Structure 1
Amino acid sequence: MTWDAIILGAGGAGLLAAATAGQAGARVLLLDHADKAGKKILISGGGRCNFTNTGCEASCFLSENPHFAKSALSRYTQWDFLALIESYGIAWHEKTLGQLFCDGSARQVVAMLLEECAKGKVDVRLSTQISEIAHHDGLFHVAGERGRNLVIATGGPSIPKMGATGIAYDIARQFGVPVVTPRPALVPLTLGETDRYFKDISGVAVPAIASVEGAQFEEAALFTHRGLSGPSILQISSYWSPGQPIWLNLLPDAHAVLKEAKAQMPKAHMKAALAEHVPKRLAEALHNLLGITKELANVPDAALEAAANRLTHLQFHPTGTEGYAKAEVTAGGIDTGALSSKTMEVKAVPGLFAIGEAIDVTGWLGGYNFQWAWSSAVAAGTEIGDRATRA
C-alpha cells in the first residue's frame, strides 16, 4: 500500500495534520516513537493544556522571517481551534493575558485529536522507531512503509525527558534543507557571582517588567537558586543572547514610593520602606545592593532619586540558560526560507513538509506555540488532502 502521507510525530501538530488530511480523503499513516500520543500536551498548562491565546497574531512569534507565520495563522485562527474544542463539549476558561485552558484535563485535548484522526481513518502507530528515511521513485520510505508525502512533525529537543530529540533537523539536513541554529527558549536564566545579592532569596516572586534589547514583558519574575525564572523571564529568554544584560523594573513607581517614605517614615531605613511594596527578603537584598544605611530623613533627595532609578532599571548579567531540560520550547529550527508559507512544503523537495515546533517559528508563552502547531498543521494537512482528492 502507498500512503498519501506519512506523518512523523504524534504531538499536537502531527495529530491535527493527520486528522485534517485524513478527513479530506487522504490515506494517512501517523508514526511516533513514544508509547502515548500527545505527551507534551498532557503535561502542558499544569495538566490543563493552555491550548491557544485570544491575542494570537504573527507579531507574537520569533523567526528569521517574521512574516512567514502570517499566512497559516490567518487561515486557521485561535477561534477556529476554539470552535473545535467547543464542538467536543470541552469546558474551558480564560486566564490572564488571553490564555485559554481546559477546565478539566489536557487528556481531553489528546482524546479530541485522536477522535479527529479516527474520523479521518488515520492509522496511528506508536512505539515505532524511525531508523532510516529514503526517497526514490517519487516516494518516501519509512519504517517499511512508503508514502507520496512526508511530514516532519517531531518538534524540537526541548524537554528531553519526554523523549524529545533533534531528529527533525537530521531529516531536514538529509534532504539539503537548512536549519537555523536551535536554542532553548522560554527557559529560566542562570546568574553568576556579579549578581550575588540575589542568591539567597530563592523562591521569592514579584511582579516585574523584564526587558532585553528589543523586547519587554510585564509579568511575575521568580528568583531561583540558580538565577531567574517566572513568566516575564521565560518570555525575554527567547530574545536574549549570551553576553547581553537584562533589566528588571521591580518597582515602577519607585520615585514616588521613596519620596513618600521619606516624608511619612523619616526614621525608617531603606529596607523598611521597600518592604512595604516588595517581599521582605527581596527588600533586604535590594537594601544591601543599594548600600544606603542612613535613616531616610538623612538621605539626600539626589541619592533617593538615584536609588529609584536603579530599582526601575536593575541590571542582571545572565551566564546562560537552564537548557533544553527546562525549556518550554525550542527556538530556531528548519529554515522558513526553504518552505512555502501557505502549505509548509519544502520548495526544493516536493512532498516533504515541516510543521510545528520543528520550524523556525517560536511563540510567546501562553498558548501561542500550540496555536502555531494547529495553524501549520492545518496548512499542510489541507494541501495533502487536496492532492489526494485530485489524484
Structure 2
Amino acid sequence: MRAQAFDAIILGAGAAGMMCAAQAGQRGRRVLVIDHAPHAGAKILISGGGRCNFTNIHTAADRFLSANPHFAKSALGRYTPADFLALVESHGIAWHEKTLGQLFCDGSARQIVAMLLEEVARGGGVIRCGESISDVGHADGRFTVTTTQGSASAPALVIATGGPSIPKMGATGFAYDLARRFGLKVVEPRPALVPLTLGGEDVLFRSLSGVASEVVARAGKAAFREAALFTHKGLSGPAILQISSYWRHGMAVGVDFLPDRSDGWLIAAKRASPGASLRSLLRGALPDRLADVLADRLAVEGRLADRTDAALRAAEARLADWAFHPNGTEGFAKAEVTAGGISTAELSSRTMEARRAPGLYAIGEAVDVTGWLGGYNFQWAWASGWAAAQAL
C-alpha cells in the first residue's frame, strides 16, 4: 500500500505537537499528527489540577534549565505568553492569574485541548490517535512513518513525543531512541519537578506527612520561596519541586523555615520575652507538629533567658539553613517533566531543525529545555512548536 503524502509529519499530539500542527497547517502545509494515546492532549488535561496552568507572564530564558542556557531565547522571544494569551482569548476562554504570574483557565483544561484541536482543524491538519509507530525510515529526502494503520511520508518529521515523565499516561523515551537513530546526541534524561525522598537521620521528618509551611528551599545557587510539604516518603510542595530540577545525588537541600526573620531575631526575643521558650516561639510561627520536631532536634529547651546568645545564634542559623540530605527522588512516575533530552547543540535555536539531519525537528519536552514550575514548560511547548512551524 502506498504511503500517504504530507508536507510534515508530527509525532505526538501534546501541547507542542498540536501547536506546531496548527501553525504549520495555517501556513498552508499539509500536516499529519500521529499519537499512540487514544486521545490528544492527555497531559494537558491533568495539568494545573485540571485547569491547565497554560503559561507564565514572567517567562524568560533564565527560568529554564538546559546545557545551553541561551538556546531557548530565540523561540521564547518570538512567541510570547502574550501571544498565547491572545489565542486563548480569541476562543473566549476565561482565565485568571493565580500567583507568581501563573495563568489558569477559569473552567477546565479541556478548553485548551479543544482550542488546539480547533486550530489544527482550521489549518486542515489531520490527527490520528491510537496508532503505535512500528518504523520510521528516511530515504530520498523523505521520512516514512509506519503505524498499525498504514504508512505516511513527508519531507519533514517533527519529534514532539515528550519525555518519560508520568509513564502511567504512556510516556516513554521514544523521542530519544528516534533522535539517536538519526545520529543526534541526548543529554541524560532525569526526573524534574519531582518530590524528594529522605532516609537516614532525616527519616523522622516523614512523621510530619501532610504538614506544609512556606519556606525558602536551596540547592546549589538556586533558591525558591514557596510552600514545602512533608510526605510519607520525604519532601514535596512547590518549593521542593522547583529545587528538585537543580538537585543532584549527594547534594544537600537547605531549607529556611522562617524566611521573614532577620538575623538576631532569637536574641531580640530573649531580650523582649526572657521567659519564653524556643518551642513556644516556633509554635507561634509554624505548624505545631513541625515546630515540635524542630525544637526537639535543636534541643534548646527551657527559658530563652537560660540560654547563651551563642546557643541561640546557632539555633537561629540552623533554622535558616536546615540541611536535608535526600537519598533520591520519586522518579519519573511522579515527575511533572523530564530534564535533559535531545541536545540543543544538535538543533537550530531558530527553527528547531537538526543540524545533521535536514528535515528532522524536535520540540517541547523532548528537547533539553526544562522550565520552572508554574506554566513555563507549556510556554516552551507553544514557543518551540511555533518556531518549528515557521520553518516547515
1:312 match: 320
For 1:318, give the aligned amino acid.
P
Q: CA deviation at 1:255?
A: 4.5
Secondary structure of 1:318 counterpart: coil
Alignment match of 2:220 (pick from 213, 216, 228)? 213
Question: Using the alignment, how far apart are the partners of 1:113 and 1:84 within structure 2?
Answer: 10
2:255 match: 248
Answer whether contact 1:20 1:381 (CA < 8 A) is retained.
yes
What whole-Å deviation, never above 9, does each CA across 1:83-133 have from its counterpart, x for those lacking one? 000100100000110000000000000000000000011111000101111
Alignment match of 2:177 (pick from 170, 174, 177)? 170
Secondary structure of 2:328 counterpart: strand
1:142 aligns with 2:149: no
Secondary structure of 1:71 counterpart: helix
Matches within 5 A, 1:359-374: 359-374=367-382
Matches within 5 A, 1:176-195: 176-195=183-202
TM-score normalised to structure 1 length: 0.96
Answer whether contact 1:2 1:148 (CA < 8 A) is retained.
no
1:290 aligns with 2:298: yes
What whole-Å deviation, never above 9, does each CA across 1:251-295 have from its counterpart, x for those lacking one? 131645423443454334321121000000001010111011232
Alignment match of 1:378 (pick from 378, 386, 389)? 386
Answer whether contact 1:258 1:273 (CA < 8 A) is retained.
no
1:122 aligns with 2:92: no
1:238 match: 245
2:365 match: 357
1:52 match: 55
What whole-Å deviation, never above 9, does each CA across 1:12-42 have from its counterpart, x for those lacking one? 0000100111010000000000011000000
1:87 aligns with 2:90: yes
1:28 aligns with 2:35: no
1:105 aligns with 2:108: yes
Answer whether contact 1:54 1:99 (CA < 8 A) is retained.
yes
1:229 match: 236
Question: Using the alignment, how far apart are the partners of 1:80 and 1:235 within structure 2?
Answer: 26
1:43 aligns with 2:46: yes
1:338 aligns with 2:352: no
Stretches of structure 2 lacking an aligned partner (at least 5 in a row): none
What whole-Å deviation, never above 9, does each CA across 1:190-230 have from its counterpart, x for those lacking one? 11122134121111100100001120111111111111111
TM-score normalised to structure 2 length: 0.96
**Cα RMSD (Å):** 1.1
Answer whether contact 1:197 1:289 (CA < 8 A) is retained.
no
Q: Which aligned runs of 4 or more in structure 1 are off by greater than 6 angstroms? A: none
For 1:285, give the aligned amino acid.
V
Question: Using the alignment, how far apart are the partners of 1:369 and 1:28 within structure 2?
Answer: 24
Question: Using the alignment, how far apart are the partners of 1:359 and 1:80 within structure 2?
Answer: 22
Secondary structure of 1:222 counterpart: strand
Q: CA deviation at 1:354?
A: 0.3
Question: Using the alignment, how far apart are the partners of 1:272 and 1:40 within structure 2?
Answer: 45
* Cα 1:197/1:268, change in 2 over 3 Å: farther
Answer whether contact 1:254 1:308 (CA < 8 A) is retained.
no
Secondary structure of 1:131 counterpart: strand
Q: CA deviation at 1:306?
A: 0.9
